[in-house]
Structures are given as C-alpha cells and as structure tokens.
C-alpha cells in the first residue's frame, strides 16, 4: 500500500530509509523475497548468542542495533539465493516505522487491519503468552512434552525458552487475531480492498534470481516465491503459513475463484494429514 501511494520504491536500498542500515546493496524487494543474503532467524541467533544473552527479551531495536554495530557477513550477494529470513522482515518492520513515523503496530492497524475489517487482530507487545496488551480470549500455546500437552510458558526452558526470549520482535511475527480475521485479510487481498490488481499480480509473479532462474524448492509444497508470499503452480494461489512456540496459522487465497482457506491452532500438530484437504478446498474441491 505504501508503494502504491508513492511513499516508497521497492527497489530502493533499505539504507535510503533506515539510515544506519549497514548493507547498501540490499533493497526492500530483496527482503520481501528472501534473497537479501541475511540469514534465517535460527542461523542468525545461533551464530550470535550474545544478543539473547544480553537481553531478557530481544526486540527489533536489539537486532537492528547489532546489524548496524557489527555488520555480520551476509550469506551471499543479494539476489543470488533464496533463504527464508525472518531477519529481513524485522528489517522491513523498521522500514515501515521509519517511513511512517508510527510504531509497526499502529501502521499495521491503520494500513491493513482496519481496511480489511480485522477487528480482532493486534500486534502483541513481546512474547506469545497472554499478558499486558494481549486481546481478551487469547488462547495459550501448547507443545508436546514427555507425552503430554504442556503450556509453552511452563515447558522445558532449555527447549522452549527461546519463545519468550525472542518473542519481542515484530515484522517476522508478533500479530495475533481470529481465524475469521485471517480469512477477511485473504478476501480483502483477492477483492482489491487492500491492494490494486497490478500489485496483486506482482505478488503472484515468481521470483527470479540474478542468473534468471526461478527457485522452485523454496518450501515443502510445490511452489515458487512471489512478493512476500508463496505461489502455487499456475500462479493463481498465494499462501503462507507460520508458527511460533505452539501456535500454527496459515492462509491460502485462490485469486481466480475467490476461495480463501484460513486456519489457526494453539498446539503443534503431530501429523499434517489434514493439509491435503486444505489444498483440495482452495482449488475448489
């Protein structure tokens, strides 16, 4: 929406907005398409444990400050390789804040949640456990531990402590809402209420690396990657899933027939046999 209004050029360097961003070669589009060269979240925090060690809860300022101060080496030249990077989306959240002068939560509410009618969706203020700032009725997340379902906040901290410690970042996650709201978002995308037809087409256009190849091994379902979203063969279905702690969510939008399928879970499933049914539904089955 900001690009449509001329507020930003997706091919502009991130550093043209975030002045102390230390990689002038990385553009906003690179981050949107996960070809920035920035590592995945687990890789990044695994290589730099001092970030988590020095903060009770890590948020966007801590990540951005570390990038600016230490300028860790990229995993490759931007545009040469697809590597799903939540770090890149933390960068994009900072771009939105610096561009609009608003918090990420406020900007998302004004530009996305309100226009799409997502009345029950907010950006949380750190972590996934119900607490200050969380909407009433927020479900607790559960994980399987020693044969039983255990609330994430009470689970083994060695295995699940990262959920709270790294739960302060946004852009890569941090939003919560209802399944109905997630479906509303999908319908708003497909109907043109959020973005123009031209922008929607650009979202569905498969990523090409600088050598001209289209990565087709980007995830566990046959798909390519578009602009911020996965795209199924045929180019009519955009989709994305997410997980954090025991939470799982997914959205599938068929722009040709208007079918939208959304789901949300508050415990990590032990099998995904139902996933095939979702694919049948979104294809009109």
183 inside domain: yes
Strands 148-151 and 247-254, sheet pairing: unpaired
Per-residue pLDDT tens over the stretch 223-260: 999 999 999 999 999 999 999 989 999 999 999 999 99
Same domain for 86 and 161, yes or no, is no
* Full residue range of the structural domain in which residue 153 is found: 122-165
Do residues 264 and 139 make contact, with C-beta atoms less than 8 angstroms apart?
A: no
Look up residue 174 and give its DSSP letter. Answer: -
Per-residue pLDDT tens over the stretch 159-190: 888 888 898 999 999 999 999 999 999 999 99
**Residue 5 CB coordination number (10 Å):** 8
| Gap between the terminal Cα atoms of the chain | 32
Same domain for 142 and 234, yes or no, is no
pLDDT at residue 149 above 60?
A: yes
Same domain for 131 and 238, yes or no, is no
Give CA–CA dist 13/26, Å, rounded: 6
Same domain for 234 and 276, yes or no, is yes
6 inside domain: no
Angle CA(221)–CA(171)–CA(103) in degrees, nearest 5?
Answer: 160
Same domain for 153 and 214, yes or no, is no
5 inside domain: no
269 inside domain: yes
36 inside domain: yes
The number of domains in the chain is 2
Per the prediction, the chain carries an average pLDDT of 93
Same domain for 25 and 143, yes or no, is no
Same domain for 241 and 139, yes or no, is no
């Amino acid at each position: 929406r900001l690009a449509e209004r001329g507020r930003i050029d997706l091919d502009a360097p991130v550093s043209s907005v975030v002045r102390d961003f230390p990689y002038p070669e990385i553009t906003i589009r690179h981050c949107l398409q996960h070809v920035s060269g920035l590592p995945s979240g687990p890789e990044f925090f695994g290589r730099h444990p001092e970030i988590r060690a020095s903060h009770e809860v890590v948020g966007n300022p801590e990540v951005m400050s570390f990038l600016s101060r230490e300028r860790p080496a990229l995993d490759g030249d931007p545009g040469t390789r697809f590597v799903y990077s939540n770090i890149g989306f933390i960068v994009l959240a900072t771009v939105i804040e610096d561009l609009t002068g608003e918090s990420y939560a406020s900007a998302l509410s004004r530009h996305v949640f309100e226009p799409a009618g997502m009345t029950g969706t907010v950006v949380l203020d750190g972590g996934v456990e119900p607490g200050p700032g969380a909407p009433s009725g927020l479900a607790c997340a559960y994980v399987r531990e020693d044969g039983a379902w255990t609330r994430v906040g009470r689970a083994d901290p060695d295995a699940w402590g990262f959920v709270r410690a790294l739960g302060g970042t946004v852009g890569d996650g941090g939003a919560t809402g209802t399944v109905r709201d997630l479906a509303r978002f999908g319908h708003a995308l497909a109907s043109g209420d959020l973005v123009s037809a031209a922008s929607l087409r650009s979202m569905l256009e498969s990523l090409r690396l600088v050598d001209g190849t289209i990565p087709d091994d980007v995830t566990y379902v046959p798909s390519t990657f578009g602009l911020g979203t996965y795209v199924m063969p045929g180019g009519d279905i955009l989709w994305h899933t997410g997980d954090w702690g025991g939470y799982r969510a997914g959205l599938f939008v068929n722009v040709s027939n208007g079918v939208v399928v959304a789901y949300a879970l508050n415990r990590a499933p032990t099998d995904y046999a139902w996933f095939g049914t979702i694919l049948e539904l979104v294809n009109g089955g």
